[in-house]
């Protein structure tokens, strides 16, 4: 197993609830997102073509409401599953898992994230690249 190193990203209160910040872990750019008490950290690199996925919007999963004839009558954003939308071509990742919402074989590179004394740390491979 690769040796891990902790990298300080920012103070916890610098990450608004429902939003994220970019930080550096060694030579990697990472996005750290906050949802309530939960934090998620991913490399800022889309699985599609390497776009800056962590600079994208966070939106609830799109749910279509159908009538009895299976015609779409409305679309809503279901915030029980938040999606991170890559700004380059719109690939949508499940914020909680980093998996591509429409094909779970693809995923973002995820890192452990922790908080001590109000400071957010990301664990990445030593000399991460
Ligand atoms: S690079 Fe992210 S959707 Fe294409």
pLDDT digits (tens, 9 = 90+) for 22-44: 999 999 999 999 999 999 999 99
Query: Probe ligand 1: pick from 44, 46, 106, 107, max atoms within 8 Å of CB?
Result: 46
Region 84-104 average pLDDT: 97
Closest CA to 54 of 77, 29, 78, 72: 29
Tokens 């690939």, residue?
A: 91
90's CB contacts (< 8 A; 6+ apart) are none
Extract the tokens encoding 129: 């690249």
pTM for the full model? 0.91
Query: Probe ligand 1: pick from 44, 56, 57, 89, max atoms within 8 Å of CB?
Result: 89
What are residue 49's DSSP bridge partners?
none
Local confidence band at 71 (pLDDT 50, 70, 90 cut-offs) = very high
DSSP string, 32-43: EEEETTEEEEEE
Task: Answer whether 82's CB lies under 8 Å from 58's CB.
Answer: yes
């Amino acid at each position: 197993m690769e040796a891990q190193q902790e990298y300080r990203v920012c103070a916890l209160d610098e990450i608004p609830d429902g939003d994220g910040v970019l930080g550096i872990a060694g030579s990697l750019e990472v996005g750290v997102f906050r949802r309530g008490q939960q934090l998620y950290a991913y490399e800022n690199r889309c699985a599609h073509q390497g776009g800056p996925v962590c600079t994208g919007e966070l939106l609830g999963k799109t749910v279509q409401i159908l009538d009895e004839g299976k015609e779409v009558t409305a679309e809503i954003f279901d915030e029980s599953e938040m999606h991170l939308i890559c700004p380059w071509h719109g690939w949508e990742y499940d914020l909680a898992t980093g998996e591509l919402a429409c094909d779970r074989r693809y995923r973002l590179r995820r890192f452990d994230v922790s908080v001590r004394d109000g400071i957010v740390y990301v664990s990445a491979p030593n000399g991460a690249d």
